[in-house]
């Protein structure tokens, strides 16, 4: 077993996940990067981190829509490092689902990535997390409490993800702590946003700005460091949820 702590981050190829991986590595963690399609971006991060510290990062491809994918993730982490200290359930599908053209396939994609994947990966990681007295951190969403228009299924899935945090915190105590981070606007949507939409979002923030991935990592470090917190969700949204 490695003497370095190990963090597994799902959806680690881009955006928040990529930042968390690099920040945690800088803090001394060995990193397991999960990705679905973004092989090139993941390989670039892996190469960069291993150049800094040899054998400190692995990458694992898995699609939560396919059976057997979760077992493969856990097997590779166990085989390489034989320990796990922090599981970050970050991977998430996000796209609109207006009721008029909602499909079962859309429903399955959103629930598989936001609920099924995190739940069954958490289950599979229990033995290693129990051994390390580790922690699970889910990336939830402020829309778990207040739905986003035309994103009913995503909002429902994140509400289930929020309940997962609380339910697993009860079930896995006292050996494993489970908490969640609910970001507000950290990055603009990948498909872009109009200036009007950006101004509305910023205007609803009490701090009159969007956040950054650094703010998410600060919350993550808080949950890891404070071993008397479990079953809690921190909203990292600049106060925007007070205006929703």
CATH number at residue 148: 3.40.50.720
User: Does some domain include residue 122?
Assistant: yes
The set of catalytic residues is: 154
In the predicted structure, residue 1 carries a pLDDT above the cut 70: no
User: Does some domain include residue 143?
Assistant: yes
pLDDT band at 198; cut points 50, 70, 90: confident
Domain tally, the chain: 1
What span, in angstroms and rounded, lies between the C-alpha atoms of 58 and 35?
11
Beta bridge partners of 136: 87, 178
Do 135 and 172 form a contact (C-beta atoms < 8 A)? Answer: no
pLDDT per position as a tens digit, 136-160: 999 999 999 999 999 999 999 999 9
Higher pLDDT: 208 or 191? It is 208
pLDDT per position as a tens digit, 19-52: 999 999 999 999 999 999 999 999 999 999 999 9
Dihedral sign, Cα of residue 6, residue 9, residue 13, residue 15: negative
User: Does some domain include residue 1?
Assistant: no
Q: What is the secondary structure of 87-154 as a DSSP string?
A: EEE---------GGG--HHHHHHHHIIIIIHHHHHHHHHHHHHHHHT-EEEEE--GGGTSPPTT-HHH
- Predicted confidence at residue 122, as pLDDT, reads 98
In the predicted structure, residue 2 carries a pLDDT above the cut 80: no
Does pTM top 0.85 for this prediction? Answer: yes
- Predicted confidence at residue 189, as pLDDT, reads 75
In the predicted structure, residue 244 carries a pLDDT above the cut 90: no
Higher pLDDT: 61 or 189? It is 61
Average of per-residue pLDDT values in the chain: 95
User: Does some domain include residue 106?
Assistant: yes
DSSP element (H, E) containing 173 = none
- Predicted confidence at residue 212, as pLDDT, reads 95
pLDDT band at 90; cut points 50, 70, 90: very high
DSSP 8-class letter at 178: E
What span, in angstroms and rounded, lies between the C-alpha atoms of 56 and 43?
13
User: Does some domain include residue 12?
Assistant: yes
Owning domain of residue 176? 6-243
């Amino acid at each position: 077993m490695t003497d370095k702590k190990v963090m597994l981050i799902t959806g680690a190829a881009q955006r928040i996940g990529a930042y968390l991986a690099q920040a945690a590595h800088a803090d001394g963690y060995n990193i397991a990067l999960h990705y679905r399609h973004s092989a090139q971006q993941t390989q670039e991060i892996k190469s960069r981190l291993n150049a800094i510290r040899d054998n400190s990062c692995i990458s694992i491809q898995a699609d939560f829509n396919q059976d057997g994918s979760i077992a493969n993730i856990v097997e590779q982490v166990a085989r390489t490092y034989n320990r796990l200290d922090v599981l970050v359930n970050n991977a998430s599908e996000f796209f609109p689902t207006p009721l008029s053209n909602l499909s079962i396939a859309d429903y399955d994609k959103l629930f598989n990535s936001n609920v099924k994947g995190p739940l069954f990966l958490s289950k599979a990681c229990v033995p290693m997390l129990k051994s390390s007295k580790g922690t699970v951190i889910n990336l939830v969403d402020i829309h778990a409490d207040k739905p986003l228009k035309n994103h009913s299924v995503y909002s429902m899935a994140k509400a289930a993800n929020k309940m997962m945090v609380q339910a697993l915190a009860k079930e896995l105590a006292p050996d494993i702590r489970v908490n969640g981070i609910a970001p507000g606007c950290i990055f603009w949507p990948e498909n872009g946003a109009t200036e009007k939409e950006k101004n509305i979002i910023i205007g609803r923030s009490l701090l009159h700005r969007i956040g950054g991935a650094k703010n998410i990592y600060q919350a993550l470090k808080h949950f890891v460091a404070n071993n008397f917190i479990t079953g809690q969700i921190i909203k990292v949204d600049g106060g925007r949820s007070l205006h929703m």
